[in-house]
Amino acid sequence: MWVSRGASASQPPTPEQRHEWRRRMSAPENELPAGLGLSALLGRTDDAAVGITQVAAFSTGFRFTLAVRLRRPRAELAHGGLFMLVGAHVRPGMQIPAEDRLLLGIEYADGRRASNLHDMRMMGPAMEGDDTRLVFVQQSGSSDESSVDQSYWVAPLPPEGPVTLVMAWPGFGMPESRTVLDGGAIQAAAARSTVLWPPQPAIEHERPLPPPRPSSGWFAEPPD
């Protein structure tokens, strides 16, 4: 469900707001990004490691993959438990202590910051006047019993100067650490991205009709 600041349920977002929201929350689909050829180790112990790979820049932001590796599977993390510690979303009814979760944040040289504790997608498409706000969005991911590869989208492009990745995973023996990337290098890579064709309009799907109700009985009356 979209929750729009300044809008109510009776005032759905406009097509322009939805377009702007999609543009900011994901990489442009009409571009081929430029890779930075960069990987970095964010933290490690004898039994676990966390790093980033596949850093790629677009005209509007950049994307990277968070790589989590365990030396051996843990029984308590079977059936997707490891992914729940890394991802932004937790299975309903599942309680995860804060110290067990992998915390990941990013900070630009101008002080803008964001982290995986705040899913901006839940804010919805009413973001007008907010073009400079730092967006940090979890995207596709895969996992097994001893590894997770989780991609993140960051927008807009950083200014010149340091781009600081902050990571902490106390439950796995990794205290808060900082890894610095070069904002200028990300900008330079973005200039090498290739626009394949003009942006295509999004397809607005009609909302499905509710199933028909029987003519009599309890189900004939809609809920209040």
Domain parsing of the chain, residue ranges: 15-220
Dihedral class, residue 51 (left if φ above 0, else alpha if ψ from -120 to 50, else beta): beta
pLDDT in tens, 159-173: 999 999 999 999 999
- Give the separation between CA 42 and CA 97, rounded to whole angstroms: 22
Q: What pLDDT was estimated at residue 13? A: 73
Q: Is the pLDDT of residue 135 over 80?
A: yes
Confidence of residue 3 (pLDDT cuts 50, 70, 90): very low
Give Rg (Cα) of the chain.
21
In the chain, the amino acid numbered 160 is: E
Q: Is the pLDDT of residue 222 over 90?
A: no
Strands 103-107 and 113-115: antiparallel
Task: Find the largest Cα–Cα distance for the chain.
Answer: 68
Q: What pLDDT was estimated at residue 36? A: 96
Per cent of the chain over pLDDT 90 is 53
Confidence of residue 5 (pLDDT cuts 50, 70, 90): very low
Q: What pLDDT was estimated at residue 74? A: 84
Q: What pLDDT was estimated at residue 195? A: 96
Q: Is the pLDDT of residue 198 over 70?
A: yes
Q: What is the separation of C-alpha 192 from the centre of its chain, rounded to a whole number of angstroms?
A: 23
Confidence of residue 6 (pLDDT cuts 50, 70, 90): very low
Which residues have a Cβ under 8 Å from the Cβ of 199 and sit 6 or more positions away? 28, 29, 30
Confidence of residue 40 (pLDDT cuts 50, 70, 90): very high
| Residue 192 tokens, joined | 């090498």
Q: What pLDDT was estimated at residue 12? A: 72
| Residue 93 tokens, joined | 């009814």
Residue 141 burial class via C-beta count within 10 angstroms: exposed 0-12, middle 13-18, buried 19 and up = middle
Confidence of residue 33 (pLDDT cuts 50, 70, 90): very high
- Give the separation between CA 155 and CA 127, rounded to whole angstroms: 13
Q: Is the pLDDT of residue 157 over 90?
A: yes
pLDDT in tens, 79-97: 778 888 887 655 555 566 7
Q: What pLDDT was estimated at residue 4? A: 44
Confidence of residue 178 (pLDDT cuts 50, 70, 90): very high
